[in-house]
Amino acid sequence: MMHRTTFGRRGTVGLKVRRKGGAVRVAVIGRGFGERVVAPAFQRVDGSEVVDVVSPRDAVAVDALCRRTDVDLIAVHSPPFLHHEHVLRAVEAGHDVLCDKPLAGAPPRPPRCAMLRRRPGCCTS
């Protein structure tokens, strides 16, 4: 997979992900903003396909989603206090992750967040 971030008008950010042999398969963690806004936005992008949307408060569903092998990108749009847990689960399962801010929540969890920065190709800000 190749990733490139582009900046559009008014500071909007677009993530271009190219995948050999078909659409980028996206899964969303989040039934509020994730389901209403993020999933439809990915559906409108040529070359992407939303394969699942799960509730962030359903730990069994989140675990099952992270174990899926037919997912290329997991978009985390859960409540902020769950971001850290969901991002780590997805990264540890080998998925690319797009996370709504804040990543660590309050109070910050620097040791495990620092682990993310050491992974090849990982960008945190």
The domain ranges of the chain are 23-118
23-118 belongs to which homologous superfamily?
A: NAD(P)-binding Rossmann-like Domain (3.40.50.720)
Mean predicted confidence (pLDDT) in 90-119: 71
Whole-number pLDDT of residue 3: 40
For residue 30, what are the contacts with CB-CB under 8 A and spacing of at least 6?
38, 53, 56, 75, 76, 77, 78, 100
Q: What is the pLDDT of residues 105-125, one digit of tens each?
A: 555 555 555 566 566 555 555
CA distance 30 to 36: 9
Q: What is the pLDDT of residues 32-45, one digit of tens each?
A: 999 999 999 999 99
- Total-model pTM: 0.75
User: Which position has the higher pLDDT, 4 or 86?
Assistant: 86
Whole-number pLDDT of residue 76: 94
